[in-house]
Amino acid sequence: MARTLLDLTQSIMDDMGSDSVNSISDSLESQRVANIIKRTFFDLAVEMDLPTAEELFTLIALADTTMPTHMQIPNNVYELGWIKYDQKTDAVDTRIRYGEVFYLDPEDFFTRVSTRNSDDSNQQIVEDPTNIKLIIQTDQNPTFWTSFDGEFVVFDSFDNTISSTIEVSKVVCHGRVGKTWTHTDTSVPDIPEHLEPSLLAIAEERSFAWVKQQENSVATDNARRFRIHGKSDKDRILRKVTPYPNFGRPSRPQGRPRSTK
């Protein structure tokens, strides 16, 4: 059975001969050990190339009417596969009408919006964070999207009779999402169960060295053994995933990525 962060912290502190705790926040030492476990978790995620999960998620609203069709990609998203948008045509419509918003590569997207007449009343000039001007249509729900930098999604249009910006509640995305961490007593590290001993052994080795300022040969030997075992067992946790377009973000967590990504 997978152990909680508190269980792991208590196990390490017991081996170090530290005072017992009932919460990871009970003492400065328990807080440091819990943080070491967190750091070790993300190091293992990179070292063992832990697979990401394909999930539904949404984007982050900017709430900026000067960039009404820009939305931020969450930090833990490695790759963005598809986007659907609730295509309601008026504010009183209660029926959900999800329709696909089609991806265009940055050049095709820019070419498409640049052919619009910026003097038309249903067009708005939007200045991208890169200072490039985009001509965004203001009288229809989005049809196309792109990302110029892997940080933001840009839609080609929005309906300003319904909302002053793209509405986050209407956006549904699917893609590859990286490992996340919840730093509470009851949280269970999101790691394959057969790698939990590696997480515990390496975190314990580090805790002896960084908290107690001493070397423990048993902890060091255990950490070395589980590192070797984990690498030889790596194929067990790799799986084939749907290939998605990559938008230039790093493919490893910073402690996902930023990943689309």
Q: Which residues contact 71 (CB under 8 A, 6 or more apart)?
A: 59, 60, 61, 62, 152, 153, 155, 166, 168, 171
Q: What is the pLDDT of residues 34-56, one digit of tens each?
A: 999 999 998 888 777 676 678 89
What is the pLDDT, as a whole number, of residue 191? 84
What is the pLDDT, as a whole number, of residue 258? 38
For residue 19 the two structure tokens come to 């005072």
Sketch the domain layout of the chain as residue ranges: 5-51+182-237, 53-177
Q: What is the pLDDT of residues 63-97, one digit of tens each?
A: 899 999 999 999 888 889 999 999 988 767 788 89
Q: How confident is the model at residue 222 (pLDDT cuts 50, 70, 90)?
A: low
User: Residue range 204-210: average pLDDT?
Assistant: 92
User: Residue range 185-197: average pLDDT?
Assistant: 89
User: Residue range 21-28: average pLDDT?
Assistant: 96
Q: How confident is the model at residue 102 (pLDDT cuts 50, 70, 90)?
A: very high
What is the pLDDT, as a whole number, of residue 193? 83
User: Residue range 124-152: average pLDDT?
Assistant: 92
Beta carbons of 245 and 238 less than 8 angstroms apart: no
Dist CA 13 CA 158 (whole Å): 55
CA distances from 10 to 3, 6, 17, 127 (A): 11, 6, 10, 53
SS3 assignment for 124-169: EEEECCCCCEEEEECECCCCEEECCCCCEEEECECECCCCCCCCHH
Share the mean pLDDT of the chain. Answer: 84
For residue 195 the two structure tokens come to 């790698």
What is the pLDDT, as a whole number, of residue 60? 96
